Structure 1
Amino acid sequence: MKITRQKHAKKNMGFYKYNFGFREPFQVLLDGTFCQAALRHKIQIREQLPGYLAGTTQLCTTRCVLKELESLGKELYGAKLIAQRFQVRNCSHFKNPVSGSVCLLSMIEGGNPHHYFIATQDQSLATKVKKKVGVPLLFIIQNTMVLDKPSMKSLTLAQAVQTNQLVPEHQKLNIELLKEEQGLVKTSEPKKRKRKRSSGPNPLSCLKKKKKAQETLQPSAAKKKRNKKRRKRKPEAIVEAAQ
């Protein structure tokens, strides 16, 4: 049975870690009923809970829970001593304390932004916690602590996320951070304008012009050579005629 409970706890913890961003240290809000049940069944919450959740935990309560335990007298004196050892979280009922169940419900309003676990034996409070999204519920049964399976609302939201209908905010941030670490984020840099440089004459066109000039000079040079030859021949012809 212990191995089976550990498997269920590991599976449920994986669900809350992946879908709702729960991370160590896990913050567990306890009320007087849970402390009383732990005292009755001789459960060492501080020693046993981290092993069950497979991670470090921060046990905490509220002033309203402590006030409620004080008002209940000697019957819950032992539970009050246990609760006093935990960290006290600030609630909004400093001037006008309310019951422990009402106070714990107020701590998980707005989608449970602080990722609290609720540990209670109060059935009415447990029923209301199950109607919330992303709030793990702990209780004691058969001398052991048990992490309840996720509520239907939590399962529905997780299914919507998996079908790409919704993306949780914590996952968006993680995706952006991973992209930046891997260098996948492209930063838009202004494109530098190329300066237009004054282009000189095309060398090929210059070569063509030189060729044309050489062609025009060639006939004039040939004519000069012919005239020289003719001039040389004239005296020879006169000498021959005189002889």
Structure 2
Amino acid sequence: MKITRQKHAKKYISFYKYNFKFRPPFQILIDGTFCQAALKNKIQIKEQMPKYLMGEVQLCTTNCVLKELESLGKELYGAKIILQRFQVRNCAHIKSPVGASQCLLSMIDGNNPHHYFVATQDQDLTASVKRIPGIPLIFIIQNTMVLDKPSPSSAAHVQAVQTGQLVTVQQKESIQTLKEEQGLVNSTERKGRKRKRKGGPNPLSCLKKKKKTQGPQQQKPAGEKKKRKRHRKRTGEGGLQVETIAQIEKA
């Protein structure tokens, strides 16, 4: 039974990852009813939730949920202690708290932009969550946590996208980018390239070239005679050669 439950969870998580861009760490919105059920069934939420969802999680709640538990008295004191250990996300009801169900619904309003899971035992909240596509629902049954299968609204949304009846947010952004590239839409911001300023001359090239210093020439000793050079001349008649030796002496 445990292996089958794990397989179903893996299948449902893949559905939300592929179609609704869910990524770890998964953000789990938890209310007081879920904590009370976990306390009653001796379930360690912080330890078992990452194992069940096969990924890192962030357990969180809101101020409205904590305020509601405080107002219900000592019977839910244990659930309140558990819930206080989780992250508290800011909601729009800080000055005037509302009911836990209403607050959690406001957190996932607008097609769940922050990709929240919802963990609850509240039947009314569960029914409201199932009407919104793309929201995974977790509840406790028979001493175990269970990730509910995708709701009919989520399945219908995915089918509509695949058949081309709906356009996702990513597709809208791609279309807008293509329109701007084709000049069909005046882009508000123009991204211009920075002009390169003409820099000055290279300081190394401005250095004066050093003249090569010539070494001292070797002076020939005085009185040394130059070597004799022989010049051969040809006479015109008979092809006879006459050698003349000219001695050139240094003055």
Q: Compute the TM-score of the two structures, normalised by the length of structure 1.
A: 0.70
Give the match for residue 98 of structure 2: 98
Deviations 1:5-26 (A, max 9, x none): 1111111101111111101100
Report the count of equivalent residues. Answer: 178
Deviations 1:47-78 (A, max 9, x none): 11111111100000000000011111110000
Give the match for residue 15 of structure 1: 15
Instruction: Report matched runs for 1:25-36 at 5 Å.
Output: 25-36=25-36
Give the match for residue 86 of structure 2: 86
2:51 equivalent to 1:47: no
Q: Percent identity?
A: 71
- Tell me, in whole angstroms, the C-alpha distance in 2 between the residues paired with 1:133 and 1:14: 15
Equivalent residues of 1:21, 1:170 under 8 A apart: no
The letter of the residue matching 1:100 is A
- Tell me, in whole angstroms, the C-alpha distance in 2 between the residues paired with 1:2 and 1:24: 23
- Tell me, in whole angstroms, the C-alpha distance in 1 between the residues paired with 2:171 and 2:39: 39
Equivalent residues of 1:137, 1:148 under 8 A apart: yes
Once the two structures are TM-superposed, the CA of residue 171 in structure 1 deviates from its matched residue by 6.3
2:130 equivalent to 1:114: no
Deviations 1:109-131 (A, max 9, x none): 01100001110001111011111
The letter of the residue matching 1:107 is M
Once the two structures are TM-superposed, the CA of residue 167 in structure 1 deviates from its matched residue by 3.8
CA RMSD of aligned residues (A): 1.8
Equivalent residues of 1:20, 1:168 under 8 A apart: no
- Tell me, in whole angstroms, the C-alpha distance in 1 between the residues paired with 2:107 and 2:148: 19
- Tell me, in whole angstroms, the C-alpha distance in 2 between the residues paired with 1:73 and 1:2: 36
The letter of the residue matching 1:156 is A
- Tell me, in whole angstroms, the C-alpha distance in 1 between the residues paired with 2:170 and 2:89: 23
Summarize the Cα distance change of 1:97–1:156 in structure 2 as closer, same or farther, 3 Å threshold: same
Give the match for residue 63 of structure 2: 63
- Tell me, in whole angstroms, the C-alpha distance in 2 between the residues paired with 1:48 and 1:84: 18
Equivalent residues of 1:13, 1:53 under 8 A apart: yes
Give the match for residue 181 of structure 1: none
Instruction: Report matched runs for 1:129-208 at 5 Å.
Output: 129-170=129-170
Deviations 1:152-181 (A, max 9, x none): 1110111112223334224676x89xxxxx
Once the two structures are TM-superposed, the CA of residue 133 in structure 1 deviates from its matched residue by 1.1
The one of the two structures with greater contact order (alpha-carbon pairs below 8 A, sep at least 6) is 1
Q: Compute the TM-score of the two structures, normalised by the length of structure 2.
A: 0.68
DSSP 3-state at the match of 1:61: strand
- Structure with greater strand share of residues: 2
Summarize the Cα distance change of 1:152–1:96 in structure 2 as closer, same or farther, 3 Å threshold: same
Give the match for residue 234 of structure 2: none
DSSP 3-state at the match of 1:80: helix
DSSP 3-state at the match of 2:117: strand
- Tell me, in whole angstroms, the C-alpha distance in 1 between the residues paired with 2:67 and 2:51: 30
DSSP 3-state at the match of 2:23: coil
- Tell me, in whole angstroms, the C-alpha distance in 2 between the residues paired with 1:4 and 1:21: 25
Once the two structures are TM-superposed, the CA of residue 187 in structure 1 deviates from its matched residue by 10
Give the match for residue 229 of structure 2: none
DSSP 3-state at the match of 1:97: coil
Give the match for residue 227 of structure 1: none
- Which consecutive unaligned segments of at least 5 residues does structure 1 have? 177-185, 189-243
- Tell me, in whole angstroms, the C-alpha distance in 1 between the residues paired with 2:163 and 2:37: 41
Equivalent residues of 1:129, 1:135 under 8 A apart: yes
- Structure with greater helix share of residues: 1
- Tell me, in whole angstroms, the C-alpha distance in 2 between the residues paired with 1:39 and 1:20: 31
